[in-house]
Chain A
Amino acid sequence: MSNKANLADRPWMDPDVQPFIKLRGVSKHFGPFIAVDNVDLEIYKGELFSLLGGSGCGKTTLLRLLAGFETPSTGTIYIDGVDMTNVPPYERPVNMMFQSYALFPHMTVENNVAYGLKRDGIEKNEIKRRVGEMLAMVELTQFSKRKPHQLSGGQKQRVALARSLVKQPKVLLLDEPLGALDKRLRENTQFELMNIQEQLGVTFVVVTHDQEEAMTLSTRIAMMHNGRFMQIGTPTEIYEFPDSRLVANFIGSANMFEGRVTENGPDHIIVQCKEPECEFYIDHGFAIQEGTKVWTAIRPEKIKVSKTAPESVESNQLKGVIDDIGYLGKLSTYRVRVGDDTIIEITSPNLSRPRDGSLAHDWEDKIYLSWDPSSVVVLTK
């Protein structure tokens, strides 16, 4: 959606652009527990930046540090060039959308949204106008006099969004914004969020544990683990070019093979794997010494399944037996037993309709697996 090869859309690649949010050496300790471990981060204006990771990885703490609810134990935080490390939350040009929405139960929708503006001492008519605009944008105008307990989950979320945007903050922080919604609502809201962000040009920082959500929404994703960043990149970069097994396994799934580099050329690498016995030929160079232990990873959708053996090429293929099949309508997942005891996972789009309702392949079928040299990712950690 926003992956045009245009530098204007990739400010992080442009050396002339200053980051909008900058963290330098930031950590947060809670007693002996290190929630955020000495991180550096740059987020650029207009990005929809996601912090992704499992529970306890530190993403929520990082968000709260940006909001000002926690003060860093070490390091500095800059927002729009200003050192905000010790600035309290009510003085930051940052607003947050809480996971629980945190709508004030004793105020109407209108007053909830107006609250922030009132604190700024803005003139009454102006407040009315801006609140009205905001409510129209989230399509809640007819609910303006209602109280939060009279709203549905999706409506509450839109109020929370309106309330956090009405002050036109420089940065909007969102804590698991879509977590509480059901699937259909979630998909719709995803697109709404992205539209609003593009319209207003606000920099969004989103915390989520849902990788699909992160992939759909973000300009860039930062994967966090144990208080550190594992990898930061665009959704494509993270998915197709993970730089560690952790990242490869967190986003989507990956078939992992352990092996050794047996040949390292300027434009190719060969990795030999013992179990299952297989040779991987990768069609690009990699700065690595021969003999090093590495892992190769292949995504399930990149593996081709065939009843007949591929043309005689020695590498990038495996022979196996179908162990289990999952039919999901638009695609099928196969679990194929290869070698002694390894199971490979493959997803295949169901490209043609079977004539008699039978499956393309059956359990215990002997099957040939193959993949392109470009589909293999080499991982050293």
Chain B
Amino acid sequence: MNNTGQRSRFLITTTCFGLAFLYIPMVLLIVYSFNYSKLVPVWGGWSIRWYKVLFESEEIWEAVALSLKIATVNACFATLLGTLAGLALVRFGSFKGRTLFSGMITAPLVMPEVITGLSLLLLFITLKELTGWPDKRGFTTITIAHITFSMAYVAVIIQSRLAGMSLDLEEAAQDLGAKPFRVMIDITMPLIAPGMLAGWLLAFTLSLDDLIIASFVSGPGATTMPMLIYSRVRLGLRPDINALATIIIVVVAIGIILAGWIMFRQQKRRELELAMSSEEA
């Protein structure tokens, strides 16, 4: 028992250190957003002036709006395509070109972004030469690029969710008279719905956060939020960016806590119902 105590202490220490490592930079980010001084690390007193600067900047609002638009469209299509891909890979057995398909779906997960960005830009340029489209790079090209790598993430989530779902349910539905298409709609889809939601959120976040690929495939006049942030911070620290960061962190934190809370409550409710029903019988 002594050893367990020692080991737990080691684990706890490492975890605390790790969490501190993860969070201290973000906390400082937030703290300095309220710093009166323009030189970020130099403390000048509490102030919210940088939030005002942030809200008054049209540039920033445009970039945020563009990013949100791209992220939303991307999430929807990526979820659709990723779900189809996931279904095909798990439920359709072997089909022609399966290995190639499987490889193409896994590769974007690990591919360095500079390569994806470069290759897509070259594609768009070639397409423009051959067909005249896309004429101007911007919203459309960025969205297409994002969909391409987002769907890989969605596919992975859907695949793992499907793999955990026993075939029994789908067979039972067939046995009761449902054709395969019907089975997919009545049984498979509703049961992978949580996975699709998770995939949507993931695709949304990835898109919102992407810098490299957007930089490559974008064009004049289309600046996404990360592109804007990058162009500003590469020259030095900027407190209005701190303000923007704080807002993002707070929004995400609220979202995650909410999601965690809802899932926690759901689980507790299920456990209660399970206990109730076993007593009844």
- Chains A, B in direct contact (C-beta < 8 Å): yes
Q: Are A98 and B171 in contact, with the CB atoms below 8 A?
A: yes
Please give the distance in Å from B105's CB to the nearest CB on chain A: 27
Partner of B171, one of A89, A105, A164, A167: A89
A-facing mask of B158-196, CB < 8 A → 1, else 0?
Answer: 000000001011011111111100100011001100000
Interface residue tally of chain A, by bracket?
Answer: 20 to 34
Q: Are A105 and B278 in contact, with the CB atoms below 8 A?
A: no
Please give the distance in Å from A68's CB to the nearest CB on chain B: 8
**B166, B175, B182, B281: which has the most chain A beta carbons within 10 Å?**
B175
Interface assignment of B273: CB less than 8 Å from any CB of chain A: yes
Q: Which partner residue on chain B sits nearest A115 by CB separation?
A: B176
Interface assignment of B58: CB less than 8 Å from any CB of chain A: no
Interface assignment of A4: CB less than 8 Å from any CB of chain B: no
Q: Are A115 and B277 in contact, with the CB atoms below 8 A?
A: no
CA of A116 to CA of B169 in the docked complex: distance in angstroms? 13
Q: Are B175 and A67 in contact, with the CB atoms below 8 A?
A: yes
Q: Which partner residue on chain B sits nearest A98 by CB separation?
A: B168
Interface assignment of B52: CB less than 8 Å from any CB of chain A: no
Q: What A residues does B280 contact at CB under 8 A? A: 152
Given A100-B168, A102-B169, CB of A119 within 8 Å of CB of B277: no
Q: What B residues does A149 contact at CB under 8 A? A: 270, 273-274
Interface assignment of A106: CB less than 8 Å from any CB of chain B: yes
Q: What A residues does B270 contact at CB under 8 A? A: 149
Task: Kindly identify, within residues 227 to 281 of chain B, every residue whose CB is under 8 Å from any CB belonging to chain A.
Answer: 270, 273-274, 276-278, 280-281
Q: Are A89 and B276 in contact, with the CB atoms below 8 A?
A: no
Q: What B residues does A119 contact at CB under 8 A? A: 176-178, 182
Q: What A residues does B166 contact at CB under 8 A? A: 100, 102
CA of A352 to CA of B25 in the docked complex: distance in angstroms? 85
B-facing mask of A92-106, CB < 8 A → 1, else 0?
Answer: 001110101010111
Given A119-B182, A150-B277, A151-B277, CB of A90 within 8 Å of CB of B191: no
Q: What A residues does B190 contact at CB under 8 A? A: 106
Q: What A residues does B171 contact at CB under 8 A? A: 69, 89, 96, 98, 102
Q: Which partner residue on chain B sits nearest A154 by CB separation?
A: B281
**B176, B178, B191, B270: which has the most chain A beta carbons within 10 Å?**
B176
Q: What B residues does A96 contact at CB under 8 A? A: 171-172, 175
CA of A23 to CA of B143 in the docked complex: distance in angstroms? 57
The secondary-structure label for the interface of chain B is: helix
Partner of A104, one of B169, B175, B281: B169
Given A100-B166, A104-B187, CB of A88 within 8 Å of CB of B174: yes
Please give the distance in Å from A45's CB to the nearest CB on chain B: 20
Interface size on B, residues (CB 8 A): 25
CA of A68 to CA of B281 in the docked complex: distance in angstroms? 34
Q: Are A120 and B191 in contact, with the CB atoms below 8 A?
A: no
Interface assignment of A163: CB less than 8 Å from any CB of chain B: yes
Partner of B273, one of A105, A150, A153: A150
Q: Which partner residue on chain A sits nearest B179 by CB separation?
A: A90
Please give the distance in Å from B259's CB to the nearest CB on chain A: 20
Q: What B residues does A116 contact at CB under 8 A? A: 176-177
Interface assignment of A73: CB less than 8 Å from any CB of chain B: no
Interface assignment of A155: CB less than 8 Å from any CB of chain B: yes
Task: Kindly identify, within residues 68 to 97 of chain A, every residue whose CB is under 8 Å from any CB belonging to chain B.
Answer: 68-69, 88-91, 94-96
Please give the distance in Å from A23's CB to the nearest CB on chain B: 19
CA of A67 to CA of B274 in the docked complex: distance in angstroms? 32
Q: Which partner residue on chain A sits nearest B171 by CB separation?
A: A69
Please give the distance in Å from A188's CB to the nearest CB on chain B: 12
Partner of B191, one of A95, A105, A163, A164: A105
Task: Kindly identify, within residues 110 to 138 of chain A, every residue whose CB is under 8 Å from any CB belonging to chain B.
Answer: 115-116, 119-120
Q: Are B278 and A115 in contact, with the CB atoms below 8 A?
A: no
CA of A94 to CA of B277 in the docked complex: distance in angstroms? 31
CA of A328 to CA of B171 in the docked complex: distance in angstroms? 44
B residues near A (Cβ < 8 Å) are 166, 168-169, 171-179, 182, 186-187, 190-191, 270, 273-274, 276-278, 280-281
Q: Which 8 A-B pairs have the closest CB atoms?
A: A152-B281, A116-B176, A119-B177, A102-B172, A102-B168, A150-B273, A89-B174, A96-B175
Pairs across A and B, CB under 8 Å, 5 listed = A67-B175, A102-B171, A104-B169, A106-B191, A115-B173
**19 new A-B contacts at CB < 8 Å, known A69-B175, A102-B166:** A68-B174, A89-B174, A90-B177, A96-B175, A98-B168, A102-B169, A104-B173, A104-B187, A105-B191, A106-B191, A115-B173, A115-B178, A116-B176, A119-B176, A150-B274, A152-B280, A155-B277, A163-B176, A167-B176
